[in-house]
Amino acid sequence: MSQVISLLKEADVDATCRAFVTVFSSDETHEFAPSEIGAYIRPRRTAYKAFFDTYESNYIKGVLRRTMGKRRRMDLPLRLGIDEDKAKSVLREIAQGIDVSSIEARCKLLHDGGYRLYDERVGKHLHMGETVARLKESLDSGELSSPLIVRELPPKVFRRDLADNPPVHHLGRYTTRYGYHDDPNRIHNIRLVSKALNNHTILSGETFSFLDAIGEIGKDAGYKEALVIVGGELLPQYGGGACQVATTLYNAALFADMEIVKRRNHAMYFFIYPLGRDAAIYPGVIDFKFKNNTGHPVMVRSYATSSSMTVALYGTPTGKEVRFSRTKIIENKPGMFSYEISREAFSFDAPFTTIAERHVFYKGKLIKNEKIRSHYRQAGYIEPESIANKEDSGDDG
């Protein structure tokens, strides 16, 4: 036994095996010399497995076979192991010809007021972990062929989801304008986030996550450094400006009467936003979420210009109308009772609370009153007069 093990230790896997290792799917087959895919001989397992496969447990039967001169030839398979890193390197190259990303069905609004539906595409993905595990199991059992484990990647949105109730009717819209402090980097980031958000479909009952929808925010994703609030201070970070898109979407969702699931205002109030109706986001920490409560698919349309950005929500008409009352400012002074103060008399240089009142009407009848409270440490910038005197009068901020 020890001599066999020693010989196997010195043996070349390709010369000894004299066959290819094959991986296959329903569409393709790939053959490799064992060493190419990281296979190697397992000396002890091969030797012991050969011994037990040829061992004759019946003594009399064994004596008769030997005395009658009967000889038999047995081809015993090698028991192979696998270098998983090398196998994965080979499989990654194969995956390039297999992996196909899924594409969601979508609805495109046309300039003539019509729309066009585009079909979805089901994606495919080579499951690396399962494929390596099956290959390892096959080689260990003496088999030289093993399946490629390919999984389907179904899209979230199918054409059938949009066909009966295409999201083409205006539900809510809002526009925010850039501030005098905005630099090209911040506007660049706003445009990137807006592009990532545009044409996003939210199915009925689905909870939309702003951070999930726009994906990674960082240098590798093309973002530039611009000011963000960190620990109550303004510091340059990649993706600064994304909060303006979140705030604009938040207001569009309010006018569409979506169910707000998660929203936090900024530590500082910025005058480019509607008072008391901003939404902060920070990757991994703060997200903005709302639920599509319309009963039908909703589509997000988002676009940014050189001076402003707009978000509109489209879906099936709900018959609702949303209006806001003038936002109240509550001054918070240590050791004193909080009290309401007019916007004209307030300096915005101390902590304060706002109360924005939202009224929802259905076919002219009031069906909901909501108070949105926000708490700020102070204002972030001196208020330009043109913005300070502006109040909401509709869904175009």
Interatomic CA distance for residues 311 and 242, integer angstroms: 13
Which tokens in the block code for residue 372? 């949105």
Residue extents of the structural domains in the chain: 2-153, 164-388
Instruction: Tell me which CATH code domain 2-153 carries.
Output: 3.10.20
Interatomic CA distance for residues 255 and 322, integer angstroms: 5
Tell me the average pLDDT across 15-36: 93
Give tens-digit pLDDT for 90-109.
999 999 999 999 999 999 99
Q: The whole model's pTM is what?
A: 0.80
**Would the pLDDT of 15 be above 50?**
yes
Residue position matching structure tokens 């201070």: 233
Which tokens in the block code for residue 49? 């497995």
Q: What is the percentage of the chain residues whose pLDDT exceeds 90? A: 66
Which tokens in the block code for residue 183? 């630099």
Give tens-digit pLDDT for 36-92.
999 998 888 877 776 666 554 544 545 555 555 555 554 567 889 999 999 999 999
Interatomic CA distance for residues 253 and 278, integer angstroms: 12
Give tens-digit pLDDT for 190-210.
999 999 999 999 999 999 999
- Are 298 and 314 within 8 A, CB to CB? yes
